[in-house]
Amino acid sequence: MKVLISAYACEPDKGSEPGVGWNLAVQLSRFHEVWVITRQNNRNSIEHELSCRPKAKLHFIYVDPPKSFSFWKKGQRGIYPYYVLWQLWAYWKAKRLHATEGFDLVHHLTFGTVLLPTFMTFLNIPFIWGPIGGAEAVPKILRQHFILKWKAYEKLRDLIIKLTFSLNPLSRLAMKKAKLIIARTKITRDAFSSKIREKTILMIETGVSREFLNEMKTTDHSDATGIVLMVGRLLHPKGFDIGIEAFLKICGGFPKVRLVIVGTGTEKERLKLLANRDAVGQKRISFMGRLSREETLKMMREADVFLMPNMKEAGAWVLYEAMASSLPVVCLDYAGPGEIVDASCAYSIPVGERTEVIQKIANALSELLSSEKLRKSMGEASIRRLEDNFLWENKAETINEFYGRVIDFSGKQK
């Protein structure tokens, strides 16, 4: 079968959306002849990888709008209007390509969000959309402590999500024309109408390679370091303030334990003020700034517990890395992290009043830091959880089964 994939983000050896585009395209080419439309920016890394490890049934087509439109890409906000323009150029290229290749199916992979359009629906061949998210939002009960700026931001985002699902013509057309929708989280799935939910299947978009897991299995946490680790961009939905406050609650009972925070972002100074409000925080909370991936993985190998009180994450690439490092996890039972972990490898804290959440996180940290045996057993369970549920090759096999639900592999639409 000939499959066309739209993957704006697609690069080898990357996490997040680029990793999703690359890894799923590679794995799906085990089953079908796969063409991937992606950006010119990705060309060098893709062609270097293919020169080292050729994939006979995987073909790449590189598309960009004219350079006169490249000013849209400046800054984080400019990515989204540029992406819409890129989708138009990608569609025109796909239409010409379809005329010569005769694709059986088109699959939009990245960006995986319902809030941004895809024009691949206009090819008039069976269309699969996802994994997509976009409906994930900070729970209202946890917004009360936000400064006014972030409260307003979240309210505006609520409105955008509501309008997308009810009024956005391109998103609604994609929902209607998709033969199958793959939702990243229950939150996005449940935002669809009942009719759309009937053709929606759950799957977290991110995964791990078997090679990476084998490499990380050498991690040994037998010597306790007393490090609780948080990693990510220091932004308001990431819950670093909740993590800091929970850590400060347990300091008295664990005089040698430290909290190490890796990352940078707009909330850095406010978080530092929170951490330094007393002498204990000043001495035992460290802000490492942005580290390379290798340096971050080294920190994970040295840590005892991974803390991730994120309030709206979907795929959570860094969570996979922590689990692959045999770390027990403390996170919220919400959005992506709540669906990635289970009770064998994590303390998954229910969403509730902020003070209640902080106390439950503190209790979980106390239990883990008090028992090397518990940390070891949950760390081992983290590895098993990834092996059983989140390997890229297994995800591709599942998506291939999804393909079989909408079209038989002789090319006939069901």
What's the CA gap between 398 and 404, in Å, rounded? 10
Q: What pLDDT does 342 receive?
A: 94
Whether 162 and 146 have beta carbons less than 8 Å apart is answered as no
How is domain 2-207+391-406 classified at the architecture level of CATH? Answer: 3-Layer(aba) Sandwich (3.40)
pLDDT value of position 82: 85
Tokens of 299: 């920190």
Confidence check: pLDDT of 229 > 80: yes
> Domain map of the chain by residue range?
2-207+391-406, 211-389
Distance CA 414, CA 321 (A): 39
Is the confidence at residue 69, as pLDDT, over 80? no
Q: DSSP string spanning 332-362? A: ESSHHHHHH--TTTEEEEPP--HHHHHHHHH
Query: What percent of the chain is predicted at pLDDT more than 70?
Result: 93
- Top-confidence residue, 74 or 12: 12
- Which one, of 183, 175, 191, lies nearest residue 137 by Cα? 191
Q: Round to whole Å and give the CA distance between 215 and 181.
A: 34
Q: Are 21 and 130 in contact (CB under 8 A)?
A: no
* Percent residues over pLDDT 90 in the chain: 66
State the average pLDDT over residues 41-65. 93
The pLDDT tens digits for 178-221 are: 999 999 999 999 999 999 999 999 999 889 988 888 888 766 66
C-beta separation of 348 from 333 below 8 A: yes
Residue corresponding to tokens 């400064």: 147
Angle (CA) 122-399-115 rounded to 5° is 50
Give the mean model confidence (pLDDT) for residues 344-370. Answer: 95
Residues 6+ apart with CB under 8 A from 291: 262, 299
Q: What was the pLDDT predicted at 224?
A: 66
Q: For 374-397, what is the mean pLDDT?
A: 93
* 291-309 pLDDT, tens digit each: 988 899 999 999 999 999 9
Neighbour order of strands in the sheet with 285-289: 285-289, 258-262, 227-231, 305-308, 329-332, 346-349
- Asked whether the predicted pLDDT for residue 410 surpasses 50, the reply is no
Fold for domain 211-389?
Answer: Rossmann fold (3.40.50)
pTM: 0.88
Angle between helices 169-177 and 148-166 (to 10 degrees): 50
pLDDT at residue 44 above 60? yes
CB-based contact 409:3 (threshold 8 Å) = no
pLDDT of the residue at 314: 65
**For range 48-58, the mean pLDDT:** 92
CATH topology match: 2-207+391-406 vs 211-389: yes
